[in-house]
Structure 1
Amino acid sequence: MLNKLIISLTFSFLLSQDYPVLGSSQSLDFMTWNVENYPKHNQTNSYIIDIINQINIDIIAFQEIENQNSFNNLINQLNGNWIGYRADQNSNWGELSYAINLDEIEVIEAYNILNQDQYFFAYRPPYVLEFIYQGIDYVMINNHFKCCGDGELDLNDSSDEEYRRLISNQLLEEYVNDTYPNKRVIILGDLNDSLTDEEEDNVFWNFLNSDLFLFADYSIANGTSSNWSFPGWPSHIDHILISNELFIDFENSDILTFKVDDYLLGGINTYDNYISDHRPVFMRFDFGNNIQGDINSDGTLDILDVIAIVNLVLGDQYNEFADMNYDGMLNVMDVVIVVNSILN
């Protein structure tokens, strides 16, 4: 009995680590995290709960959530007011899922898209979360693309892994442009391929060559391998892509591969044995006093901002922070968006 108690206390000590505070009350904080075959160990939840409770985050887009009961237990044991969404609650397969901190986020709805094309997505159709943060609407699209392949794109083979990822990207681009033309869209997940391949083999070329999208983590992909998201076979395959409506916010953002293994006793071996083979990729849009629609930069969204933007419109003056729909001009539509943000 005493030996069991000592072992239990020792393991609890090993689990209890200090992790960095990544987010803040002034920023939209989120990350994509493939938690391999979740839960891969009976102590997996203990680790993940400890991590989430310390890093100060608003939304986590998970991949490979296999067990609904374990996921429910995870959500229920987090500090604060959290809710979990899983694409298929009755499935034992690795499902796309979200953990959301309702203290900061208002959920509109969660749903799958492109179900008719799920072959290309390895039968894991993209999982959308529509939400509101500080009065602004956002769309997040969680993905887990087809894995593996030989690194060469074969346009004549529909079963080619790279080809399936290529089509997945093209389908997503078309869907986002058609369905969310003026929304702030975040596409993220385990996309299972590199951003830096040559054009002829690059499955992301449609996005990389577009003026409407930007890979927020491109600098990571193009940087040192020690900061990549998949350390076991060094590669950076977990990505965050943003639409042009977020380009200005991107100027006040931070993105990093959260190297959880750096904070664990046993390092990468402990991380791989108990948590996952993927590291999470974290991003924050740091608004501070630059709240969207806060035209006079006083840290609040109120009638004074309406007056400020009306004066800009009447004076035919352009201000990028007042261009609420990012159409390159200031007009009554921008005024309406500011008013709606205040009312919401």
Structure 2
Amino acid sequence: MKKIIILLFIICSFLFSKEFKIASYNVENFFDLNYDVTEYKEFIPNRSHWNKKAYKTKLNNVLKVLNDLNADIIALQEIESKKVINDLIKKLPEYKYYKFIKYDNSSVGVAILSKIKIINNKQIDVKFQDKIFRPILETTFILDDIKFKIFNNHWPSKRSKEKYRVKYAYELLNRIKQLPSTMDYIILGDLNSNYNENETLYSNKKLNDTLYITGINNVLNTTIDNNFVSKGTIKNKQYSHYNLWLELPYKNRYSYIFKSNNSTPDNMILPASLFDDENIFYKYNSFNVFKPDYLIKNRKINRWNMRKQDGFSDHLPIYATFSTKKLINQEIKRLSTIQDIYDITQINEPFSLKDAVVIYKSNNSAIVKQKNSRAIFIYNAQDLKLNNSYDLKIFSIKDFYGLKEIDKFKIIKKNKKPKNMDNFYIDKFNDFSDLNLQNEVIKNLVFTYKDKFLYYENSKIRVYFKDKNLIPKVETKLLIKKAQIGYFKKSPQIVIYNKNDFKYLK
């Protein structure tokens, strides 16, 4: 009888919990038709292409997105005025609660629309002597007698160096430190920072005026010791945060596309309290990008086109689901295979990888593969021997511009060598753009080299020589004895480490 009562209590608690969706959307330059002097010049009312017709189209297009998105709380960026918000609310009566803020001399501000009761709004000022940006909007909500906060951000764009975004992060963190330890909160908005902004600074040194310190990674602590904070490690350091982009496969991580490169300026970042046993809970794997066909086609975002007076925004909305009760069956997956590693971004605790066979070795780097599973690159692998099998303890993994790697491990034991190594290699031509072939090793394949590409069977793939002195000077045929199928940013590539990995053919 006691067990039945407990079971009924659990079921009732689950039934009476409330799930709610939170979204963030940079609507891109939504100006009204009143002249305020602070407009961007192309949005001065009734000049050029910004007029009543354009405004009405923009309004209806934003309304379509918000209606289809159907979030309970929507954070908006790049709104010019209360007039714009009022026009939205007239068509969205279900959003009874809303707030808009901006600086007087700023072109745009931020806003919140909510079906859930707002009990307080606070403006966090972030000001500079030489530039004017936007304040941070701190909004407190109440649902089922539970209070929680959302911090709606719009940090400076990449036209400004990193020190400006770092200051935003510090002002935000200082405010968070003033909150009661039991207060749940969500950081979201257009941070103009990729989830892996540390890598961005290394590839775009013009932004780096902070000695590679970034606001999103180092100040808000979405990384610790250069590793992303995970759901399992978030409690290891105070004021650390988990970035929900890590739930998506690498190829799906984008809300903005710049020069054909995926970017994640829009973020949703959670503290440890969203993963505890009290108040508000995050629903695992509910984070996603809202991208219906009318917002993106052929990898092009259908942004506002001033000349055509149509379109939406250069950003895509992001969203996630939360609950007032802890959700059942939200266990973190236990890992045992290399395939499992490709399904995640960070491991929550060390795990054992059995029968990992070394199929390639170059100096201190190695590639290991499990039978009937996948291959993966390993750093600091000087103790691993080619063609040997090992049981390994894996401590951390990383993504290097999309390439999955193991960067910390130890050998548990050495196993018997496999009798046949041939099955561990790719010795026939494939579609090498297939992400499932990442880190595999090709063997004894003939290509034609020309201008940084290897050509084969009416296809081609970029080739990267670790030693630039090995790059062929002219078009030639090559026998690739062994080489890694690598991946850099969005592109697969064959990686050749040393001169013994290939030979010229006549």
TM bracket (short chain): 0.5 to 0.7
State the secondary structure of the residue aligned to 2:158. coil
State the secondary structure of the residue aligned to 1:50. helix
Counterpart residue number, 2:117: 106
Counterpart residue number, 1:165: 165
**TM-superposed deviation, 1:242:** 1.5
- Find the partner of 1:230 among 252, 256, 275: 256
Give me the whole-angstrom Cα distance separating, in 2, the residues matched to 1:91 and 1:75.
25
> Is 1:97 paired with 2:106?
no
Counterpart residue number, 1:255: 287
Task: Pick closer, same or farther for the CA change 1:265–1:185 going to 2, 3 Å.
Answer: closer
Spell out the pairing of 1:1-344 with structure 2 (5 A cutoff).
26-39=18-31, 41-42=54-55, 43-88=57-102, 93-101=107-115, 105-113=116-124, 115=125, 117-119=126-128, 122-149=132-159, 161-198=161-198, 200-204=212-216, 205-206=218-219, 207-208=221-222, 209=224, 210-219=237-246, 223-224=250-251, 226-233=252-259, 234-248=262-276, 249-250=281-282, 252=284, 254-260=286-292, 262-264=293-295, 268=300, 270-273=302-305, 274-286=311-323, 290=327
**TM-superposed deviation, 1:161:** 1.9
1 or 2, which has the higher strand percentage?
2
Task: Pick closer, same or farther for the CA change 1:265–1:31 going to 2, 3 Å.
Answer: closer
State the secondary structure of the residue aligned to 2:257. coil
How many residue pairs end up in the alignment?
250
Give me the whole-angstrom Cα distance separating, in 1, the residues matched to 2:154 and 2:258.
18
Contact (CA 8 Å) 1:189, 1:239: kept in 2 or not?
yes
**TM-superposed deviation, 1:58:** 0.8
Contact (CA 8 Å) 2:303, 2:315: kept in 1 or not?
no
**Bigger shift: residues 56-65 or 176-185:** 176-185
Give me the whole-angstrom Cα distance separating, in 2, the residues matched to 1:251 and 1:93.
36
Q: C-alpha offsets along residues 24-54 of structure 1, whole Å, 9 cap, x if unaligned? A: x941211111111115842122122223223
Matched letter for residue 49 of structure 1: L
**TM-superposed deviation, 1:98:** 0.8
Contact (CA 8 Å) 2:89, 2:95: kept in 1 or not?
no
Task: Pick closer, same or farther for the CA change 1:168–1:222 going to 2, 3 Å.
Answer: farther
1 or 2, which has the higher helix percentage?
1
Give me the whole-angstrom Cα distance separating, in 1, the residues matched to 2:297 and 2:266.
24
Contact (CA 8 Å) 2:148, 2:184: kept in 1 or not?
yes
Q: Structure 1: 5+ residue runs without aligned partners? A: 1-24, 150-159, 292-344
Q: C-alpha offsets along residues 143-182 of structure 1, whole Å, 9 cap, x if unaligned? A: 1111115xxxxxxxxxx62011112212211220123432
**TM-superposed deviation, 1:80:** 2.5
Task: Pick closer, same or farther for the CA change 1:144–1:269 going to 2, 3 Å.
Answer: closer
Contact (CA 8 Å) 2:254, 2:264: kept in 1 or not?
yes
Contact (CA 8 Å) 2:22, 2:321: kept in 1 or not?
yes
Q: Percent identity?
A: 23
Give me the whole-angstrom Cα distance separating, in 2, the residues matched to 1:109 and 1:284.
22
Matched letter for residue 259 of structure 1: K
Give me the whole-angstrom Cα distance separating, in 2, the residues matched to 1:123 and 1:110.
19
Give me the whole-angstrom Cα distance separating, in 1, the residues matched to 2:244 and 2:81.
30
Give me the whole-angstrom Cα distance separating, in 1, the residues matched to 2:294 and 2:324.
28
Counterpart residue number, 2:477: none
Give me the whole-angstrom Cα distance separating, in 2, the residues matched to 1:137 and 1:194.
29
Contact (CA 8 Å) 1:221, 1:236: kept in 2 or not?
no
Task: Pick closer, same or farther for the CA change 1:186–1:124 going to 2, 3 Å.
Answer: same
**TM-superposed deviation, 1:90:** 7.2
State the secondary structure of the residue aligned to 1:179. coil
Give me the whole-angstrom Cα distance separating, in 2, the residues matched to 1:54 and 1:251.
21
Q: TM-score, normalised by structure 2?
A: 0.45
Give me the whole-angstrom Cα distance separating, in 2, the residues matched to 1:277 and 1:145.
16
Give me the whole-angstrom Cα distance separating, in 2, the residues matched to 1:92 and 1:118.
11
Give me the whole-angstrom Cα distance separating, in 2, the residues matched to 1:95 and 1:135.
30
Which structure's CA Rg is the greater one? 2
Matched letter for residue 182 of structure 1: T
Give me the whole-angstrom Cα distance separating, in 1, the residues matched to 2:198 and 2:141.
36
Give me the whole-angstrom Cα distance separating, in 2, the residues matched to 1:139 and 1:277.
27
Contact (CA 8 Å) 1:190, 1:238: kept in 2 or not?
yes
Contact (CA 8 Å) 1:96, 1:144: kept in 2 or not?
yes
**Bigger shift: residues 192-201 or 63-72:** 192-201
Taking CA–CA contacts closer than 8 Å with sequence separation of 6 or more, which of the two structures ends up with the larger relative contact order?
Answer: 1
Q: TM-score, normalised by structure 1?
A: 0.64
Contact (CA 8 Å) 2:295, 2:302: kept in 1 or not?
yes
Task: Pick closer, same or farther for the CA change 1:235–1:176 going to 2, 3 Å.
Answer: same
Contact (CA 8 Å) 1:106, 1:133: kept in 2 or not?
yes
Matched letter for residue 168 of structure 1: Y
**TM-superposed deviation, 1:130:** 0.5
Give me the whole-angstrom Cα distance separating, in 2, the residues matched to 1:45 and 1:191.
24
**TM-superposed deviation, 1:228:** 0.2
Matched letter for residue 119 of structure 1: F
**Bigger shift: residues 42-51 or 86-95:** 86-95
**TM-superposed deviation, 1:277:** 0.7
What's the C-alpha RMSD, in Å, of the aligned pairs? Answer: 3.0
Give me the whole-angstrom Cα distance separating, in 1, the residues matched to 2:243 and 2:184.
14
Task: Pick closer, same or farther for the CA change 1:38–1:141 going to 2, 3 Å.
Answer: same
Give me the whole-angstrom Cα distance separating, in 2, the residues matched to 1:288 and 1:175.
26
Matched letter for residue 214 of structure 1: H
Contact (CA 8 Å) 1:62, 1:98: kept in 2 or not?
yes
**TM-superposed deviation, 1:253:** 5.3
Task: Pick closer, same or farther for the CA change 1:125–1:57 going to 2, 3 Å.
Answer: same
Give me the whole-angstrom Cα distance separating, in 2, the residues matched to 1:278 and 1:81.
22
Give me the whole-angstrom Cα distance separating, in 2, the residues matched to 1:197 and 1:68.
33
Give me the whole-angstrom Cα distance separating, in 1, the residues matched to 2:148 and 2:318.
19
